[in-house]
Amino acid sequence: MIGQSAYATAPWPHSDSLARAGFRIRLVAAIAVVLLAGAFAAAVVVSDGSPYLVAPFAAAFCGIALLVWPRSGLYVLFGAAILLEEWGIAGLNPITTETHFFQNISGYSAIPIRLSMADLLALLAVIAWGLRRLVGANPPARLGPIGWPVFAYGALFVVGLAVGIVRGGAWNMTAALAELRGPLFLCITYFLTVNLVRKPAHVSVLLRTLIVLTAIKAVEGLWNYWQMTNGPIWLDAVTAHEDVVFFDLSIVLAVGAYVLGLRSRLAWLLYASVPLILATELVTQRRVGFIALGGAVIVLAALLASLKPRRTALLFGSATVLFLAYSVIAWDQQGLLAQPIRAIRGAIDPGSLSARDLSSNWWRELEESNIAYTIKQLPITGVGLGQEYLFEREPPPLTSFIYWRYMTHDAVLWVWLKAGVLGFAAFWALVAQAALVGARLFKRLPTADLKLVALAPMMLLVIQVLFSTVDLGLTYSRNMIVLGVVLGLTAYLSRRAAEVAGARSA
């Protein structure tokens, strides 16, 4: 006997009734917004524009936006990391620096909050994701293919914070928070990307944001250079130091897209941005930018050769011949066009360096000796966050950088100083795991556009590590936000690779 099933007998709602219900909801929301705006305006008038009034309304607006559209926080963080400066540029005052997005709110307002807008946005994004998860709007949390190394790295910096506090003495809470930001941003943006970026459209938004905003930064750098050449003084830099990381990434992705034969709109956007970025790379005069670019190109050639051997050999072989010819011609030359060879020439012949470069090298050599001295004294735990590292020889002060006694230009060894030997091991475990996952995905993914996305984590990691050996790469919030997002794309790519493998076995 077939059992009978009970079904609801109420009629389906008519489209007109649904439209009326939707109109009523929008009307109530509009009235609420108008009332809140009126209350806010009245409060501003009564309090003579107190900045304390802005915080609750801004937080409420951001919270609602994140609950409705959770990826918006991730997109804003990613875009801001590429577009907005974290530190000022000496002699320049671009509008992107005046946003104070990465500066503590207490540093530029009367609100006593030692967190930046970037910090608050990241926290709100995580809270919004958690609330949506509680009501079942989000799937269970995932760690992704490199989640354990990422979170071990962040957790050991939290341990480093505890070490710094326990050591007492002249512990500096502001410096400790500044040091903790980078590792935590890496963890948070990686987690959000793994759990929120699920569709090709989401990846497309991130890639387009990277390309377009990097091109805008290049245009801004050229504009700064034009102002400098027509101004009263000559500046040491026309972009922030960390911008070269994003420039290098766009260049190597453009080369990868060309070898892979991509002719999509995204690829043409990438190709169109390269001339602007290359020109800005020349005028920035950052030796580490050219060194990191060269290292990334070598790794890129090895990966592409396994897939497109003839095309890779032709392109990179021709480029090598042209570079050798350029090196012979530009070896003893000065000026912008000789900037790329200056980094190599300086390593081979230190006597060819300018007085500025010699002074910079001397300061870094002194810093390296002090790093080695600190590690010998505290090899297991390091000094901890918020503690000055130890000076065997006192270097001249860097008045332009407030945290020069806490953060070192060699950011890779800085990890050991602050998170101890376990933190240093976790960093290299993260690098190794990401490289292995990226190489495997590059081989397994079936289409050229997915292979290009798989190149991004590996290329950025190479650039970031090389950059961080001589600059503050792992302490910059901007770099760590972008790195966390790009590494998080490995989760999306892993799902696509599993779908392809499942379809083939079916």
Q: Which residue has the tokens 């990846």?
A: 203
Q: Which long-range contacts (CB under 8 A, 24 or more apart) does 216-219 make?
A: 216/83, 217/82, 217/83, 217/243, 217/246, 217/247, 217/280, 218/247, 218/273, 218/276, 218/277, 218/279, 218/280, 219/276, 219/280
Q: What is the pLDDT of residue 139?
A: 84
Residue type, 439: A
Indicate the SS3 state at residue 481: helix
Q: Is the dihedral of CA 475, 192, 253, 152 positive or negative?
A: positive
Output the six-digit token pair for 215. 């091109």
Q: Is the dihedral of CA 496, 497, 499, 500 positive or negative?
A: positive
Q: What is the pLDDT of residue 106?
A: 84
Dump strand ranges (E) for 40-119. Answer: none
Q: How far apart are the first and last CA of the chain?
A: 37
The rounded average pLDDT for each run of 10 residues, N- to C-terminus, in the chain (506 residues) is 44 53 56 61 57 60 75 93 87 77 84 88 91 83 95 97 93 94 97 95 96 95 84 73 95 96 94 95 85 94 93 92 84 72 66 65 89 96 96 87 93 96 97 96 94 96 95 94 98 93 75
Give the CA distances from residue 213 to residues 152, 162, 250, in Å, rounded to whole numbers and listed in that order.
Answer: 31, 37, 11
Q: What is the pLDDT of residue 2?
A: 44
Rounded to an integer, what is the distance from CA 396 to the centroid of its chain? 31
Strand partners, 104: 116
Q: What is the pLDDT of residue 32?
A: 62
